[in-house]
């Protein structure tokens, strides 16, 4: 059973083989055809095919140093990444008191008031998770250029391709009989290709039993989801009680009144009361027999007739 579960569990670990396969399969078809014509294929390296072509072009121009002492590919990409990630717009200056401080060069830049929601990639069970892709939910007015610029300028995330599609809200019937959509349920999905891999945290259902138990315990301690659900059920039952508003002495009889444990408890209590009553009556009759006293069984009161009931 464990082997079957592990087969359908998604690959979230940093496995080089499945990660490269997932990245190669997610590459746009036009890019794959172009690489096929050129005879290039993505391998496990610090350089993407675009960076590799740029490195070869600069090397042919002689811009990477003297012949025989050119920069290696790893040295060149390291210098490029350092230049890309350097902090811009700041400078060190000395005040009149002789203290050095960092000042901002130029004017302030205000970021747009938009929300990028990072969600998990769609990965079928048993398939490798693609760490070179990221999925976002963005507003409908955002374009691919906006997404690329936003990720690079705010988070320093380098992208290779961007695919977008729009999810339309289902139609809902209004009171007038017409149909309309709900704007808050309509969004645009953007699938972004990443240069550096990013692994989304594991799903709870894909974790090992021990790890899953620890995760659920941590979530309950931090957020109290189950406690909140119990409080909601309690308040709902309390408000739906017919006599809860008029009866100040109303008391809660248990977490769930109609559950199986509560019903069995009530049945056991009634059975114990009935058996106790029968046992006490038997002892009473035995004592009367020992004392030669008559045993009188009270007769049941007759049911009233229709005429007596009317009176």
Same domain, 182 and 289: no
Query: Per residue in 257-296, pLDDT tens?
Result: 566 777 888 889 999 999 998 898 888 888 888 888 888 7
Same domain, 21 and 152: yes
For the sheet containing 133-138, what is the strand order?
117-119, 133-138, 187-194, 159-167
| Residue 1 binned pLDDT confidence (cut-offs 50, 70, 90) | very low
| Residue 189 binned pLDDT confidence (cut-offs 50, 70, 90) | very high
The answer to the question of residue 176 being in a domain is yes
- Higher pLDDT: 243 or 23? It is 23
Same domain, 126 and 270: no
Q: Mean pLDDT score of the chain, rounded to an integer?
A: 77
Same domain, 263 and 130: no
Same domain, 163 and 189: yes
The token duo for 201 is 């945290």
The answer to the question of residue 305 being in a domain is no
Asked if 26 and 194 count as a contact pair (C-beta separation under 8 A), the reply is no
SS3 96: coil
Beta bridge partners of 187: 167
Same domain, 166 and 232: no
The answer to the question of residue 215 being in a domain is yes
- For residue 128, what is the DSSP state? B
Rg (CA), the chain: 38
Same domain, 39 and 120: yes
Query: Does the model's pTM come out above 0.75?
Result: no
* pLDDT score of 5: 46
Same domain, 122 and 214: no
- Higher pLDDT: 239 or 54? It is 54
pLDDT at 109 exceeding the cut of 80? no
Half-sphere exposure of 112 (CA within 13 A, CB side): 14
pLDDT at 3 exceeding the cut of 70? no
Asked if 163 and 153 count as a contact pair (C-beta separation under 8 A), the reply is no
Which contiguous run of DSSP H or E holds residue 211? helix 209-223
Count structural domains, the chain. 3
Same domain, 222 and 148: no
The answer to the question of residue 248 being in a domain is no
Q: Which domain holds residue 211?
A: 207-240
- Any idea of the CA torsion for 58, 59, 61, 65, to the nearest 10 degrees? 100
Same domain, 260 and 150: no
**What stretches of 107-189 show up as alpha helix (H) in DSSP?**
144-150
């Amino acid at each position: 059973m464990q082997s079957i579960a592990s087969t359908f569990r998604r690959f979230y670990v940093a496995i080089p083989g499945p990660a490269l396969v997932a990245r190669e399969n997610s590459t746009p078809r036009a890019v794959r055809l172009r690489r096929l014509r050129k005879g290039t294929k993505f391998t496990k390296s610090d350089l993407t095919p675009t960076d590799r072509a740029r490195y070869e072009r600069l090397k042919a121009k002689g811009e990477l140093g003297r012949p025989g002492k050119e920069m290696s590919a790893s040295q060149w990409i390291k210098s490029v990444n350092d230049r890309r990630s350097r902090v811009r717009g700041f400078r060190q200056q000395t005040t009149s008191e002789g203290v050095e401080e960092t000042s901002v060069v130029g004017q302030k830049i205000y970021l747009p008031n938009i929300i990028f929601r990072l969600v998990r990639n769609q990965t079928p069970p048993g398939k490798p998770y693609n760490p070179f892709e990221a999925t976002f939910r963005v507003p409908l007015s955002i374009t691919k250029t906006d997404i690329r610029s936003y990720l690079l300028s705010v988070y320093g995330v380098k992208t290779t391709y961007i695919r977008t599609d729009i999810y339309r809200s289902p139609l809902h019937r209004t009171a007038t009989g017409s149909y309309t959509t709900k704007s808050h349920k309509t969004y645009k999905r953007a699938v972004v290709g990443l240069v550096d891999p990013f692994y989304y945290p594991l799903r709870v259902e894909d974790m090992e039993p021990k790890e899953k138990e620890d995760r659920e315990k941590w979530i309950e301690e931090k957020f109290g989801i189950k406690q909140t659900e119990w409080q909601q059920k309690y308040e709902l039952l309390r408000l739906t009680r017919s006599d809860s508003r008029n009866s100040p002495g109303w008391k809660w009889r248990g977490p769930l009144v109609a559950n199986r444990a509560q019903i069995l408890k009530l049945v056991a209590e009634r059975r114990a009361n009935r058996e106790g009553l029968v046992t006490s009556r038997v002892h009473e009759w035995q004592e009367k027999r020992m004392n030669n006293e008559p045993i009188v069984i009270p007769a049941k009161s007759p049911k009233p007739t229709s005429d007596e009931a009317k009176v």
